């Protein structure tokens, strides 16, 4: 299998992309697995969570959901982490208004 171009439209692959930007097709089954793994890692990461909150239709609600989830896992030492997220969301809301 030629992994340097798209199997569907033969668009030339650039760098470490998993998907063809032209037709949204994975370059290979291996790339599909790697992309999925990267997505899961991103979701679990701090920045990934911030992005999820930012992308939500209602950031405040998303933040509260995230807070509840974190609170179950670690009730005390997560407070500072959440304060930072809250400030981030707050500043975002201010910038929108
Ligand atoms: Zn393609």
pLDDT at 77: 65
4 Cα: distance to centroid of ligand 1 (angstroms): 11
Name 42's Cβ contacts closer than 8 Å, sequence gap at least 6: 48, 51
Residues 16 and 54 in one domain: no
Residues 34 and 58 in one domain: no
65 Cα: distance to centroid of ligand 1 (angstroms): 37
pLDDT tens by residue, 29-69: 999 999 999 888 888 887 888 888 888 888 888 888 877 77
Q: Which domain holds residue 39?
A: 1-44
Residues 26 and 60 in one domain: no
Residues 38 and 58 in one domain: no
- Give dist(CA 82, CA 77) in Å, integer: 10
12 Cα: distance to centroid of ligand 1 (angstroms): 8
Domains of the chain: total: 2
Q: In this structure, what is the dihedral angle of CA atoms 63, 68, 70, 72, given to the nearest 10 degrees?
A: 180
pLDDT tens by residue, 74-93: 666 667 788 888 888 888 88
Report the helix count and the strand count for the chain, using DSSP H and E: 4, 0
């Amino acid at each position: 299998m030629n992994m340097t171009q798209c199997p569907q439209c033969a668009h030339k692959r650039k760098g470490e992309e998993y998907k063809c930007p032209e037709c949204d097709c994975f370059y290979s089954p291996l790339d599909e697995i790697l992309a999925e793994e990267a997505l899961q890692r991103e979701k679990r990461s701090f920045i990934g969570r911030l992005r999820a909150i930012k992308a939500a239709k209602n950031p405040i609600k998303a933040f509260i959901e995230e807070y509840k989830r974190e609170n179950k896992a670690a009730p005390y030492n997560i407070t500072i982490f959440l304060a930072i997220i809250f400030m981030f969301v707050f500043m975002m809301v201010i910038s929108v208004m």
